[in-house]
Amino acid sequence: KPNMGQLHVVFFPLMAHGHMIPALDMAKLFASRGLKTTIITTHLNAPVFSKTVERSKSLGMEMGLRVIKFPTVEAGLPEGCESADQLTSDDLLSKFIQALSMLEEQLEQVLQECRPNCLVADMFFPWATDVAAKFDIPRLVFHGTSFFALCAMESLRIHKPYKNVSSDSEPFVLPDLPHEIKLIKKQVSEFLTEEPETQFSKLSSQMSESELRSYGVVVNSFYELEPDYADHYREVLKRKAWHIGPILLCNRSAEDKAERGKKASVDEDDCLKWLDSKKPNSVLYVCFGSMATFTTSQLYEMAMGLEASEQQFIWVVRRGKEEEEEEKWLPGGFEERVKDRGWILRGWAPQVLILNHEAVGGFVTHCGWNSTLEGVCAGVPMVTWPVFGEQFYNEKLITDVLRTGVAIGSKEWNRLTSDGVKREAIENAAKQIMVGSEAAKGRARAKELKEKARQAVEEGGSSYYDLNALFEALRSYRS
Ligand code: UDP
C-alpha cells in the first residue's frame, strides 16, 4: 500500500563519477529522512549505485534504480563508452554531449510512469525542466559545485571581464563578488569564452536559461563554509537555492564510506594498515579525481617533486600498468627509493576512507567539488592543483577565502594533457602545507571547518534546516 504522505523524489545525474557519487549520497540522505527515492542511470553505470540501493531495504530506506539505455551507437561513441570519465578526446566529448541530448524521451517515460513529487536533474540536462513541467513536477537543478563557483560563473557570464585584458595571462578581477578574486583567461571555461557559438557555448546558454525557469537549485555545500556566496547567490543573483551538504556525511560507517561509487583498486584493509603504521598528520594524499589526465612529463615532474619534498605520500595514478607498459612517467628506481614512505596507488582509491585516517595530514587535489568537500570534512589542508572546469574557482575559495590551502600555480585549463607545473613548485607546496608554523595555522583552520561541517548536517544545523525547508516546499507544492 503506498504511503500517501510520503514524498517521492527522482534523481537524474550526469553519467560522470563526480556527479553520480553525490547523487547517490543525496538519494540516500533523502531516503534516510523517510522519502522514497529513485535514481535514473544507464546499464554500465548501474553498479555505481546498486550496492547501496540493494542494502537500503535492510536499513529501512526506500531507494530504487531505473535503468535506461545510453545511445552509445546512435551518437557514434565506441561500445562501452557511457561515462564522462572515458572521454579521452574532444571528439568523444562532443559525441557524449550529443548522446545526452537523446535521453529526453526516456526521462519522459520514467516520469510518466512514476509521477514523482520532484525531479532533481543534472545541469547537463537543460531540457529536463520542460519534461518535468509536462507532468507538473517541480525540477531542481544539481550542478555538483560550490556557491562560490556558481557566483563566479555568473560574474563571468554577465560581465565578461576576460574581454578587457590584452593577453591570456593578464589577471582580471571577477566583478561584483564579495572578495577580490582574480583569474586569467586560460583558466576560464571555454564554454563561456568561445565565440562564435559552438556546441559547448550553446549548451551553456541552454543550461542557464533552463535553470532560471526551474523550481530551484540544490547545492551540496553548507552555509558556514561560504556564507558570503550563499547570500550573494540568493540575494544578489536572486536564485532560489537550498544548501543541504556536505551530503557525503550521510555515510557514517566505514562500510558506507568505502562503497560509494566504484570498487577500489586496492584492498581497503591494506590501505588502512599502511596508514596505521604512520604518525598522525604525516602523509600527503595526492589524487586528481575521475577525469583529469596529465602528460607523461608532468607525471614525471610530479614524482620528482614528491620525492624531493621528503614527505610520506599516497599518490593515486589513474594510468594503469597495462596502458603504459614501460611506465615512462616513472623515474627509474623511484618506487624502490621511496618504498618506505611512498605508495603509488594505480587505479581507483577509497578516497574518503584514506582522507579520514588520522595519518593523513594534507591533500593535493584538483579541486573537484566532491574532493574539496571531502577534504574539508576530513579537516586536512590542501595543495590546490586545478585542471579544468570549475576547479579554478574552487581553488580560489580554498586559497583566498578559506585560507586552508596553497596554490601549486596551475595556469591553464587542460582536461586531457595537463602540463606545466615544475617539480620545485610541487616540493615547496607539499612542504608548506605539511611542516612549519604556517602549516599548523592552515591545519587549525581546516579542523575548524571540519567541525562546522559536522554541525551543519546535525539536527538544528544549517543544512539540516534547509533540507527540511526543501521537503516542506515540496509538500506544499503537492497540496
Ligand atoms: N574518487 C575516488 N577515488 C579515486 C578518484 C576519485 O573515490 O581514485 C572519488 C572522490 O572521492 C570524489 C569523486 O570520485 O567523490 C570525484 O569527484 P570530484 O568532484 O572531486 O572530481 P571529478 O572526478 O568530477 O573531476
Instruction: Check pocket membership of 316 for ligand 1, CB cut-off 6 A.
Output: yes
Confidence of residue 201 (pLDDT cuts 50, 70, 90): confident
Can you give the pLDDT at residue 324? 57
Q: Which residues are catalytic?
A: 19, 122
Ligand 1 centroid – CA 252 distance (Å): 18
Q: What is the mean pLDDT of residues 45-71?
A: 95
3-state secondary structure of 86: helix
Can you give the pLDDT at residue 313? 98
Can you give the pLDDT at residue 326? 64
Ligand 1 atom at shortest distance from the alpha carbon of 372: 20
Show the beta-strand stretches assigned E in 170-250.
172-173, 182-183, 216-219, 241-243
Q: How far apart are CA 318 and CA 349, in angstroms?
A: 9
Q: Which of 146, 290, 382, 388 to mutate to test the pocket of ligand 1 (most atoms within 8 A of CB)?
A: 290
Ligand 1 atom at shortest distance from the alpha carbon of 288: 5
> Per-residue pLDDT tens for 362-411?
999 999 999 999 999 999 999 999 999 999 999 999 999 999 999 999 99
Instruction: Check pocket membership of 15 for ligand 1, CB cut-off 6 A.
Output: no
Q: Are strands 172-173 and 182-183 parallel, antiparallel or unpaired?
A: antiparallel
Can you give the pLDDT at residue 252? 79
Q: Which residue has the cell 587542460?
A: 414
> Per-residue pLDDT tens for 261-297?
778 888 999 999 999 999 999 999 999 999 999 999 9
Residues 6+ apart with CB under 8 A from 357: 272, 275, 276, 283
Instruction: Check pocket membership of 434 for ligand 1, CB cut-off 6 A.
Output: no
Confidence of residue 1 (pLDDT cuts 50, 70, 90): very low
Residue ID of nearest Cα to ligand 1 atom 15? 370
Ligand 1 centroid – CA 16 distance (Å): 10
Can you give the pLDDT at residue 263? 84
pTM of the model: 0.96
Can you give the pLDDT at residue 197? 80
Instruction: Check pocket membership of 376 for ligand 1, CB cut-off 6 A.
Output: no
- What cell was used for 116? 514523482
Instruction: Check pocket membership of 145 for ligand 1, CB cut-off 6 A.
Output: no
Instruction: Check pocket membership of 361 for ligand 1, CB cut-off 6 A.
Output: no
Average pLDDT across the chain, whole number: 94
Q: Are strands 312-317 and 283-287 parallel, antiparallel or unpaired?
A: parallel
Ligand 1 centroid – CA 366 distance (Å): 10
Q: Which residue has the higher pLDDT, 195 or 75?
A: 75
* Residues paired with residue 182 on neighbouring β-strands, in sequence order: 173
Can you give the pLDDT at residue 4? 60
Q: Which of 90-99, 188-197, 232-241, 285-294 has the lowest mean pLDDT?
A: 188-197
The answer to whether residues 407 and 284 touch, using CB atoms and an 8 Å cutoff, is: no
Can you give the pLDDT at residue 479? 76
Q: What is the mean pLDDT of residues 217-227?
A: 98
Packing angle, helices 437-457 and 369-378, rounded to 10: 100
Can you give the pLDDT at residue 106? 98
Say if residue 132's pLDDT is above 50. yes
User: Which helix (H) or strand (E) is 68 found in, with range?
Assistant: strand 62-68
Instruction: Check pocket membership of 349 for ligand 1, CB cut-off 6 A.
Output: yes
Instruction: Check pocket membership of 25 for ligand 1, CB cut-off 6 A.
Output: no
Question: How many other C-beta atoms are found inside a 10 Å radius of the C-beta of residue 89?
Answer: 9
Instruction: Check pocket membership of 471 for ligand 1, CB cut-off 6 A.
Output: no
Ligand 1 centroid – CA 291 distance (Å): 8
Question: For the chain, how are helix, strand and coil distributed in percent, rounded to 5?
Answer: 50, 15, 35
> Per-residue pLDDT tens for 418-439?
999 999 999 999 999 999 999 9
Ligand 1 centroid – CA 170 distance (Å): 31
Ligand 1 centroid – CA 387 distance (Å): 13
Q: Which of 317, 348, 371 to mutate to test the pocket of ligand 1 (most atoms within 8 A of CB)?
A: 371
Can you give the pLDDT at residue 2? 44
What would you report as the CA-atom Rg of the chain, rounded to the nearest whole angstrom?
Answer: 22
> Per-residue pLDDT tens for 137-148?
999 999 999 999
Question: How many other C-beta atoms are found inside a 10 Å radius of the C-beta of residue 151?
Answer: 26
- Residue of 31, 164, 151, 231 lying closest to 396 (CA atoms): 151
> Per-residue pLDDT tens for 36-48?
999 999 999 999 9
Q: How far apart are CA 297 and CA 304, in angstroms?
A: 11
The answer to whether residues 122 and 12 touch, using CB atoms and an 8 Å cutoff, is: yes
ipTM: 1.00
Instruction: Check pocket membership of 39 for ligand 1, CB cut-off 6 A.
Output: no
Residue ID of nearest Cα to ligand 1 atom 5? 289
Confidence of residue 325 (pLDDT cuts 50, 70, 90): low
